[in-house]
Structure 1
Amino acid sequence: MPRRAPTHHHHVYVVLLSDDVWNEPAFRAANPEHDILKPCLYVGMTGLDPDLRFDRHMAGIQANRFVLKYGVRLLPELYQVYNPMPYSAACEMEVELAIGLREAGYGVWQA
């Protein structure tokens, strides 16, 4: 029996956070170079569809506290090009995407 090629089903995703997240000391401390003209974001990685993962955050299921309290919507224009990918690549891309967005002036939380 031939082996099936593994399917890649992991994704990185980016959530727009409301500006009120800036009032959180931990968020401010993580983003000392934040350009106040750019939005605040959450960068994550999941084995689920990003839309489903966002819904789970907003329902409080395995939710990041900043997404639960300040999540507005997904920003697929910042991540769609990378998806889907293998688990190991998604782990690396989550960190790299967060670093790149932070270097571009965005306020970023990545757990």
Structure 2
Amino acid sequence: MLAFDVYEDRCPTRMVLDRLADKWALLILDRLHDGPVRFNHLRRDIKGISQKVLSQTLKKLERDGLISRQVFATVPVTVEYGLTDLGRTLTDTVAALAHWAERNMDAVVAAQKAYDAAAR
């Protein structure tokens, strides 16, 4: 029997699920799949994310042990983010979810249109 039960309202796994259900967290984790990336590179790659939200999301993912932060003593300071061993256990799952949306967006849009038309 598992020590945690995601269906219980006070289970701490809910916090982890909440973090992983965040679109920005998924995109960051997927982007880090191929290796460490600098902060500004992440910001350029993930269109629409603000500097503040990127920073907040990276801190949360680091706190959860999913990513690591490495600071290099350069001028200006260089910061790289990469997946931890724990974060790498999510690689296939995150990629499957993120890219499922790309592959199935036409079907989702069609379903939305059909639903909206029937609701009129």
Q: TM-score, normalised by structure 2?
A: 0.28
Higher helix share: 2
Q: Which has the larger radius of gyration?
A: 2
